[in-house]
Structure 1
Amino acid sequence: MKALRLASVLAAAFVAVSVTAPSAQAESGNAILEIKLKATGLPFEIDQDGDFKVLVNWEQDKRSQLVYVSPEVDEFSGMPHYTAFAPAALLNGDVTLDAGRMRSLLEKNANYKVGGWMVAGNALYFGAKLSTDVSPEQLRKLLAALAEEADNLEMELTPGEDAL
């Protein structure tokens, strides 16, 4: 059984917004994020797009989940953040989302403290915007929560598989 409960983890991991100049953060965002990721203890590598590809494992359940973190520092209204996303499904002939499932995911979005479901290209992701001020411990908890939510839906949509 997964050790983390999504609601409590997300609520506990809420962080304040950064006050550092966005341009300075953009220049050093990659190095700073890499230092924070190393401090989480989670295994990661840099993929071909330059994103950090983090692996979250649940030994007891014999499952794992990928979570990607973009090192690019985005900004909204003076608030710098990273984008993290965990793929739950590749939407192809085998896996599709009907109107009922899409509505259900949108309704769930209203209840999350951090993050939500999104479709990009042919993939369904659970993603979030993470403050650049996030501590390594908060980052670990947030990535684990994103991974757990995505993996739970992956198990529903593709029983017996663990491809993502």
Structure 2
Amino acid sequence: MKRIATALLLTATVFGAHAAEADKAVGRVLDKLDYPYEIDEDGDYKLVFDAGDDRTQLVFVRSSVEEFGTHKVREIWSPGYNSPGKQFPAAVANRLLEDSQDAKLGAWVKQDQLAMFVVKVDAAASAEALSDAIDAAMRTADAMENELTKTDEY
């Protein structure tokens, strides 16, 4: 049986009228999975998981849905590296590309100075499929963060 880490609540403030609208369908699935979450100022679901070995890992389930042709896709993001400058060091960028090749679900993307592991699933994914995607993002990002930095920032 797959071990999904227990979600821990991360303290954050939702900015009332300025907050984007969260997709309530995501909340219902996360509630069904019994994953505690907060909704951030972008309307995304923010979770922190116990990754084991006294480590935690931040995961976002995006409320927005991307479309391509007939596909409707939801993204699950998890940060794994924060670059000291605008560009990633070449060795880090190459390591992230290598890890993307090996990943069963998802790939690394550059979001400003952050390396984010992103898993894309069908917007109407089942609770089990969403749980698998969250687990893949959490485990992959935490392992890379540990490998590259030996810290637990996320």
User: What is the 5 A alignment of 1:54-133?
Assistant: 54-58=47-51, 60-92=52-84, 97-133=88-124
Identity across aligned pairs (percent)? 30
Give the match for residue 146 of structure 1: 137
Structure 2: state its 5+ residue gaps.
Answer: 5-20
Deviation at 1:139, TM superposition (A): 1.2
Counterparts of 2:54 and 2:35, CA distance in 1: 16
Counterparts of 1:89 and 1:107, CA distance in 2: 15
- Answer yes or no: is 1:49 the counterpart of 2:46: no
User: What is the 5 A alignment of 1:27-42?
Assistant: 30-42=23-35
Tell me the TM-score normalized by structure 1.
Answer: 0.74
Contact 1:92 1:122 (C-alpha < 8 Å) held by counterparts: yes
Indicate the RMSD between aligned Cα atoms, in angstroms.
Answer: 2.3
User: Which AA in structure 1 matches 2:71?
Assistant: M
Counterparts of 2:83 and 2:148, CA distance in 1: 10
Deviation at 1:29, TM superposition (A): 7.8
Give the match for residue 137 of structure 1: 128
Deviation at 1:3, TM superposition (A): 5.1
Give the match for residue 24 of structure 1: none
* Structure ranking higher in helix proportion: 1
- Answer yes or no: is 1:163 the counterpart of 2:147: no
Tell me the TM-score normalized by structure 2.
Answer: 0.78
Contact 1:117 1:124 (C-alpha < 8 Å) held by counterparts: yes
Counterparts of 1:35 and 1:123, CA distance in 2: 29
Counterparts of 2:144 and 2:66, CA distance in 1: 27
Counterparts of 2:117 and 2:29, CA distance in 1: 21
Counterparts of 1:90 and 1:101, CA distance in 2: 11
Structure 1: state its 5+ residue gaps.
Answer: 5-27
Deviation at 1:100, TM superposition (A): 2.9
Contact 2:22 2:39 (C-alpha < 8 Å) held by counterparts: no
Contact 1:88 1:151 (C-alpha < 8 Å) held by counterparts: yes
